[in-house]
């Protein structure tokens, strides 16, 4: 059995629409381009194999985000992430000159549950309500995670600045 032309077209459209965002999300969790690629590939494989039915685009996006986060979580949990001794050793991230490197480094140091909320809200621009729907977590829990994540980020940045001085 081969994917029908319709399914292929649909998959390509969904990929074009969400792949970059999902890749960044996966990258922020795995800190490895290869692992992020694997995670995204797994997500789309699951998308086709399970053929979930969506109410609307938001529902579809929420599903993709949730599956990506879960997949990354599984990879980390099972130790399948290509481990690096430290963030400094990561060579496949964007270059040091790139601002994104600092961003990824900062969020990469956050615990996973704060990281997801911070990335989706401050970097991807989703509202608290949208994130709540995507992750299936209450609004207050998302707000708490954002608050706690912000606090940790500030502390981390302050420590770094002090170390630089």
Partner 1 sequence: MFDEKEIAAYRNISAPSDLRDKVLSSCMAETPKRNDLRKFTRVISSIAACLLLATVLTTYAFGSYGDLDVSVSDRVLNEESSLTFTTQDNGIAVAAHREIPVTTIPLTFDGHATLRVSGGVMNVIEDGEISYIGTEYATDGKTLVYWTVSGDETSQALEMTVIGRFKTETIILAYDETTAAWVVTREQAK
With CB under 8 A as the contact rule, the residue among 60, 122, 137, 141 that binds partner 1 is 122
Position of tokens 């792949």? 19
The single-letter DSSP state of residue 119 is I
Piece of the chain touching partner 1 by CB under 8 A; list 33-41, 63-71, 81-89, 135-143: 33-41
Question: Judged by CB under 8 A, which of 29, 32, 44, 120 binds partner 1?
Answer: 44
Distant-in-sequence contacts of 21-25, Cβ < 8 A, 24+ apart = 21/65, 21/124, 22/64, 22/65, 22/68, 24/119, 24/123, 24/124, 25/65, 25/68, 25/69, 25/72, 25/116, 25/119, 25/120, 25/124
Q: Which of 89, 99, 161, 162 binds partner 1 (CB under 8 A)?
A: 99
Applying CB under 8 A, which part among 56-64, 66-74, 101-109, 127-135 lies near partner 1? Answer: 101-109
Scan residues 124-153 and list those touching partner 1 (CB under 8 A): 124, 150, 153
Q: Is 40 in the site for partner 1 (CB under 8 A)?
A: yes
Question: Angle, nearest 10°, between helix axes 57-77 and 128-135?
Answer: 60
Q: Does 159 bind partner 1 (CB under 8 A)?
A: no
- Element counts in the chain: helices (H) and strands (E): 7, 0
CB 114 within 8 A of CB 152: yes
Counting contacts by CB under 8 A, is residue 45 touching partner 1? yes
CA–CA separation, 12 vs 19, rounded Å?
10
Give least dist CB 27 to partner 1, A: 7
Rule CB under 8 A: say whether 108 interacts with partner 1.
Answer: no
Instruction: Name the site residues for partner 1 (rule: CB under 8 A).
Output: 1-3, 8, 11-12, 15-16, 19-20, 22-24, 27, 33, 37, 40-41, 44-45, 48-49, 94, 98-100, 102-104, 118, 122-124, 150, 153
């Amino acid at each position: 059995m081969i994917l029908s032309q319709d399914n292929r077209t649909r998959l390509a459209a969904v990929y074009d629409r969400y792949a970059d965002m999902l890749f960044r999300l996966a990258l922020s969790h795995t800190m490895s381009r290869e692992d992020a690629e694997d995670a995204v590939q797994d997500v789309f494989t699951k998308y086709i194999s399970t053929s979930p039915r969506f109410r609307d685009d938001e529902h579809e996006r929420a599903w993709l985000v949730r599956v990506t986060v879960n997949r990354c979580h599984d990879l980390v949990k099972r130790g399948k992430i290509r481990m690096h001794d430290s963030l400094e050793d990561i060579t496949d991230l964007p270059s040091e000159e790139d601002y994104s490197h600092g961003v990824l480094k900062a969020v990469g140091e956050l615990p996973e549950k704060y990281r997801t909320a911070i990335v989706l809200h401050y970097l991807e621009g989703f509202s608290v309500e949208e994130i709540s729907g995507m992750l299936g977590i209450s609004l207050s829990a998302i707000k708490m995670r954002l608050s706690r994540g912000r606090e940790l980020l500030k502390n981390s940045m302050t420590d770094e600045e002090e170390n630089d001085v």
